[in-house]
Amino acid sequence: MDFDFSFFLFAASVVTGMIWGGYVLWLRVKKIPYEAAKEPLLVEYAHSFFPIVLLVFILRSFIAEPFRIPSASMMPTLLIGDFILVNKFTYGIRLPVINKKVIELNEPKRGDIVVFRFPKEPSVDYIKRVIGLPGDKIAYYDKKLYVNDTPVNQVSLGSYIGRGQGNDMTGAEQLEENLFGVEHSILIRNGAPSVEGTYIVPPETYFVMGDNRDNSNDSRYWGTVPEENLVGKAFFIWMNWDWQYKGVGFDRIGTSLK
């Protein structure tokens, strides 16, 4: 069990609910009308915070969870300072805190942008794009991607101009990649070293890569993502705030992800 924010929301819901519920039960035992009683300060706080904490816990655990992008690994799709929403139920309903799936729904598809618990340090959340599904053969050579021996089509869009904390990527080559129907932009640094190899995706795991191919710690380095590590699918940018530069990026707000 990871003692993350979900755990503390759960604990806060339980504690405030028990304080308020215990007080109501005590009033009933004493046959004191609730309207006639004056809540002690602790009970008053519990009464006020319980519904709010419980609502946030339910929304965050089962509907959507916000995340902030702290690195450049998904540029140009996601920029440093993007705040995104992640659909928590698209890959199945999981019990919060223990992360056990109880209802099967959809499975990840190639091209999905997913948030997952990093296999080597589950308390840390990563975000990458799904490249390989269970059983796939993935190859990456000379900065080109192959899925089941089929090259993934790439079209150059020219030199990339970085922005904000990602301005050091200015001069990288931007390409439009068509991952079997899912079109998205990627960045590569021609001449920069990169990990190459061929990988077979084990059952119930996924091969993921960052769109910033030469600046991403992904499955090429540490292996695949187990299905149970999936958190959800990123689908929306609701805010961008790059505090080291111009602040709020209004043109990023409301962007759908693909």
Same domain, 93 and 193: yes
Q: Does 6 qualify as catalytic in the annotation?
A: no
- What residue ranges in the chain does DSSP mark as E strands? 64-68, 82-87, 93-95, 100-103, 113-117, 125-132, 137-141, 144-147, 150-151, 153-159, 173-179, 182-188, 197-200, 205-209, 225-226, 230-242, 247-248, 255-256
Same domain, 230 and 118: yes
Sign, Cα dihedral of 91, 201, 179, 252: positive
pLDDT tens readout for residues 23-49: 999 989 988 888 888 899 999 999 999
Same domain, 131 and 242: yes
Indicate which residue of 13, 73, 216, 219 is catalytic. Answer: 73
Identify the pLDDT of residue 2. 53
Range of the domain at 186: 69-256
Same domain, 10 and 74: no
Number of domains within the chain: 2
pLDDT tens readout for residues 203-218: 999 999 999 999 999 9
In whole angstroms, what is the distance from residue 93 CA to residue 105 CA?
8
Indicate which residue of 88, 128, 143, 233 is catalytic. Answer: 128
Same domain, 38 and 73: no
- Residue ending a domain, among 63, 87, 110, is 63
pLDDT by position in tens, the chain (length 258) = 455 678 888 899 999 999 999 999 998 998 888 888 889 999 999 999 999 999 999 888 889 999 999 999 999 999 999 999 999 999 998 888 778 888 888 999 999 999 999 999 998 999 999 999 999 999 999 999 999 999 999 999 999 999 888 999 999 999 999 999 999 999 999 989 889 999 999 999 999 999 999 999 999 999 999 999 999 999 999 999 987 777 788 899 999 998
Same domain, 111 and 132: yes
Q: Does 120 qualify as catalytic in the annotation?
A: no
Residue 203 preceded by cis peptide, ω within 30: no
- Residue ending a domain, among 14, 34, 63, is 63
Same domain, 108 and 203: yes
141 has which bridge partners?
Answer: 144
